[in-house]
Amino acid sequence: MNTRRPMVAGNWKMYGSHAANAALVEGLREGLASLGAATDAVDTLVCPPFVYLAAVAGQLGDSGVAVGAQNLCAETGQGAYTGEIAGQMLREVGCSHVIVGHSERRALYGENDELVARKYAAALATGLTPILCVGETLQERDAGSTSAVVARQVDAVIAHCGVAALGRGLIAYEPVWAIGTGRTATPTQAQEVHAFIRGRIAEHDAIIAGSLRVLYGGSVKAGNARELFAMPDVDGGLVGGASLKAEEFVAIVAAAAV
């Protein structure tokens, strides 16, 4: 039995509108309230698109659901970085967390390990809690390089920020082949990689490795959350598609509270 507090985080990706978000938040508030005290044991977070952060934070109010962004600029402060959003700005509109290195950003927007590590550092420097996404493609898994890929992605952050910095964030293991595909890693496959990540960090610092929360992401839904979260090194989930449906997200939170 570990003492790590589970987290269920929703990545809304580039979905939503003012009207749709308001309905989703209403559903989350009602659904989570109906779970009662069970939700006290779980951290909950939603990550809407940038432009909706302030409104969603306002609508969530005192619900206990935190708000995070899906990305941030690697530079801190203000400056001539057209189109970028700094960590301080995210804080100002109500964010406590930020996702860094999501596989869609790595694959579609050319974010490499070094840039992801710089973003991780920028998040910490601006008072945000980073959620570092790591994970292998199907090709990499089939080639037997899952451990090497995940190790490289984790090591890049350790090299740039130091191992203590990992203790101030979370990691999300998200096998790329399971994201948005409906194909979930089996609990055993997830556990294997989560244990590997923890072991890798333990080579630097066993205490940080033991307390760090490692979320699983990749087609998590109400129907599979419970068995995934039952794994000893799985500390909750980063949820994409299913986080856009209040009922599903609430059921996933309930699964983490067991």
Which is catalytic among the residues 97, 102, 136, 140? Answer: 102
Cα 41 to Cα 44: distance, rounded to the nearest angstrom: 10
3-state DSSP helix/strand/coil % of the chain, to nearest 5: 50, 15, 35
Helix (H, G, I), strand (E, B) or coil at 130: strand
CA angle, residues 108, 10, 61, in degrees to nearest 5: 130
Q: Which is nearer to ligand PEP, 90 or 176 (CB)?
A: 176
160 is catalytic: no
Site string for ligand PEP, 210-239 (x = CB under 6 A): -------xxxx-----------------xx
- Could you say whether residue 180 binds ligand PEP (CB under 6 A)? yes
Does residue 240 touch ligand PEP according to CB under 6 A? Answer: yes
CB 222 within 8 A of CB 256: no
* Short-list 30, 39, 34, CA closest to 258: 39
Secondary structure element (H or E) that encloses residue 11, with its range: strand 7-11
Nearest approach, Cβ of residue 115 and ligand PEP (Å): 18
* Residue 113 found at the interface with ligand PEP (CB under 6 A): no
Least distance (Å) from ligand PEP to the CB of residue 36? 26
CA distance 162 to 141: 27
Of the pair 117, 179, the CB lying nearest ligand PEP is at: 179
* Residues with Cβ within 8 Å of residue 57, at least 6 apart in sequence: 67, 93, 94, 95
Site size for ligand PEP, by CB under 6 A?
14
Q: For residues 59 and 219, which CB has a smaller minimum distance to ligand PEP in the complex?
A: 219
Query: Is 204 among the catalytic positions?
Result: no
Please, how many CA atoms are within 13 Å of residue 30, restricted to the half-sphere of its CB? 10
Q: Which residues pair with 173 in a beta bridge?
A: 134, 216
179 makes contact with ligand PEP (CB under 6 A): yes
Shortest distance (Å) from residue 81 CB to ligand PEP = 25
Smaller CB distance to ligand PEP: residue 163 or 240? 240
Binding flag, residue 10, ligand PEP (CB under 6 A): no
The answer to whether residue 68 forms part of the interface with ligand PEP (CB under 6 A) is no
Q: Which residues bind ligand PEP (CB under 6 A)?
A: 11, 13, 174, 179-180, 217-220, 238-242
Active site residue ranges: 102, 174
